[in-house]
């Protein structure tokens, strides 16, 4: 049975919850303040935490946020129990990191049922995590978010090809998710039919979400790349809650080595959920003034969200042949170096898009494919990059050969 930590300054609710849970075999520990609750959480490492919002010292929102910043509680179910029943209160609970929001007064049977669902979901996640008491997750997908505030400059094409590159390099579980819910193009770019999409999760309560439901919407490309497509119609996307996406990403990460997210061109809640989770943000821009301004606005917002500068990589996509802003002026204006500059390649890319044949999969010898393949290696985990695969893939062999050729050329040049 579960170890439950309850943080609430009203003793009556201590008694109600104890009477509901202890007969079922659960161990219930109680604290009266947020500070005491945080201290108890670090000692007890409970299976689930229930917190009131109105506490004598710090709010339940702050308790939840502090717990979520600690890796030890990244996946611990947190329930907010409060008399505040407004929609904004519920949204604030979810935004702070809570898994559920229950309004006082409540029925003990409902509390037990919803707590049981959260504990069952946690068990699913634990199967992909190290075993042992107090174990914390060590295997979570490296998450790469491809973002831009300006559309039409190749973000989806970049996301698709990088996902294919990572999959072909390491032959390891890789998931591409299309979060451009109003007009996503991932399935089209892969030339895959839209059998199941995010919209098929719309009828599932976030608290009841599990990996079985998620696996039902995951499709597979012939390369072995897994992907989740965006809905066909915008009206379907409107039925999908932000919390459903939030829970889904948390459940998916332990099952993959890489997760690549193609984001909408905004700072909507969907985009923010993915940006917060991402290990790397690829900010894409074109060499023209409007794109430069959009990139500056995005960088300013990232800074206000306290994202570390090293988390963001600038990707310059040269979408026209000449008269574009020079790279050095872009770097000077944004006060940040460009990590990757993609050449103008209209014929290759347009044909790739129209035929649904991603260049990295169908034309690996093209110059732009070589750049993207090498960049996929650059984005790989340290564990992958530092160790030669037991069975090297063709993609890995190509990258290795290019690396050795570049090293030999550098050595010759230094000897002159």
Closest residue by Cα to residue 314 from 287, 274, 290, 285? 285
CB of 39 closer than 8 Å to CB of 61: no
Q: Quick: pLDDT tens for 286-343.
A: 999 999 999 999 999 999 988 999 999 999 999 888 889 999 999 999 999 999 999 9
pLDDT above 50 for 136: no
pLDDT digits (tens, 9 = 90+) for 165-211: 999 999 999 999 999 998 889 999 999 888 889 999 988 877 778 88
| Span(s) in the chain for CATH 3.40.50.2300 | 3-128
Q: What is the pLDDT of residues 102-120, one digit of tens each?
A: 888 888 888 888 888 888 8
Nearest 5 degrees, angle CA 283-CA 305-CA 272?
A: 65
Where along the chain do the CATH 3.40.50.300 domains lie?
A: 142-415
Given this model, what pLDDT does residue 128 score? 45
Quickly state the pLDDT bin for 397 (edges 50, 70, 90).
Answer: very high
Q: Hey, what CATH topology would domain 142-415 get?
A: Rossmann fold (3.40.50)
More confident site: 89 or 358? 358
Distance CA 251, CA 15 (A): 33
Q: What's residue 125's pLDDT?
A: 62
Give me the sheet containing 312-317, strands edge to edge: 219-220, 226-228, 174-178, 258-262, 142-147, 280-285, 312-317, 338-342
Q: What is the dihedral angle through the alpha carbons of 231, 232, 238, 239, rounded to the nearest 10 degrees? A: -70
Q: Taking 80 as the threshold, does the pLDDT of residue 54 lie above it?
A: yes
Q: What is the pLDDT of residue 161?
A: 95
Token pair of 405, please? 């050729």
The CATH number of 3-128 is 3.40.50.2300
């Amino acid at each position: 049975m579960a170890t439950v930590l309850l943080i609430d300054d009203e003793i009556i609710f201590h008694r109600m919850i104890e009477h509901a849970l202890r007969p079922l075999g659960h161990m219930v520990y109680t604290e009266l303040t947020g500070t005491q609750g945080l201290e108890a959480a670090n000692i007890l490492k409970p299976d689930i935490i229930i917190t009131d919002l109105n506490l004598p010292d710090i709010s339940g929102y702050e308790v939840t946020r502090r717990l979520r910043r600690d890796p030890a509680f990244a996946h611990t179910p947190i329930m907010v129990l409060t008399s505040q029943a407004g929609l904004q209160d519920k949204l604030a609970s979810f935004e702070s990191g809570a898994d559920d929001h229950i309004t006082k007064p409540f029925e003990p049977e409902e509390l037990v049922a919803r707590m049981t669902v959260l504990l069952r979901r946690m068990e699913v996640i634990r199967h992909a995590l190290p075993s042992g008491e107090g174990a914390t997750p060590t295997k979570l997908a490296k998450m790469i978010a491809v973002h831009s505030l300006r559309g039409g400059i190749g973000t989806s094409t970049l996301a698709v090809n990088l996902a294919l590159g990572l999959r072909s390099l390491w032959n390891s579980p890789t998931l591409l998710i299309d979060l451009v819910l109003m007009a996503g193009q991932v399935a089209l770019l892969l030339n895959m039919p839209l059998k199941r999409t995010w919209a098929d999760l719309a009828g599932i309560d976030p608290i009841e979400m599990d990996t079985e439901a998620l696996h039902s919407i995951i499709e597979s490309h012939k390369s072995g790349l897994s992907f989740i497509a965006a809905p066909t119609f915008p009206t379907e996307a409107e039925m999908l809650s932000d919390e459903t996406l939030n829970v889904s990403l948390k459940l998916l990460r332990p099952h993959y080595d890489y997760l690549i997210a193609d984001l909408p061109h905004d700072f909507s809640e969907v985009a923010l959920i993915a940006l917060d989770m991402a290990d790397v943000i690829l900010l894409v821009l074109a060499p023209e003034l409007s794109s430069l301004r959009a990139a500056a606005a995005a960088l300013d917002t990232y800074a206000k969200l306290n994202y570390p500068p090293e988390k963001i990589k600038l990707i310059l996509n040269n979408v026209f042949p000449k008269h574009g802003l020079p790279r050095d002026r872009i770097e000077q204006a944004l006060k940040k170096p460009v990590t990757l500059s993609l050449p103008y390649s209209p014929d290759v890319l347009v044909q790739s898009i129209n035929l649904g044949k991603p260049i990295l999969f169908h034309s690996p010898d093209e110059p732009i494919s070589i750049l993207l393949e090498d960049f996929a290696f650059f984005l790989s985990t340290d564990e992958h990059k530092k160790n030669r695969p037991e069975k090297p893939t063709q993609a890995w062999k190509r990258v290795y050969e290019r690396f050795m050729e570049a090293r030999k050329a550098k050595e010759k040049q230094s000897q002159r």
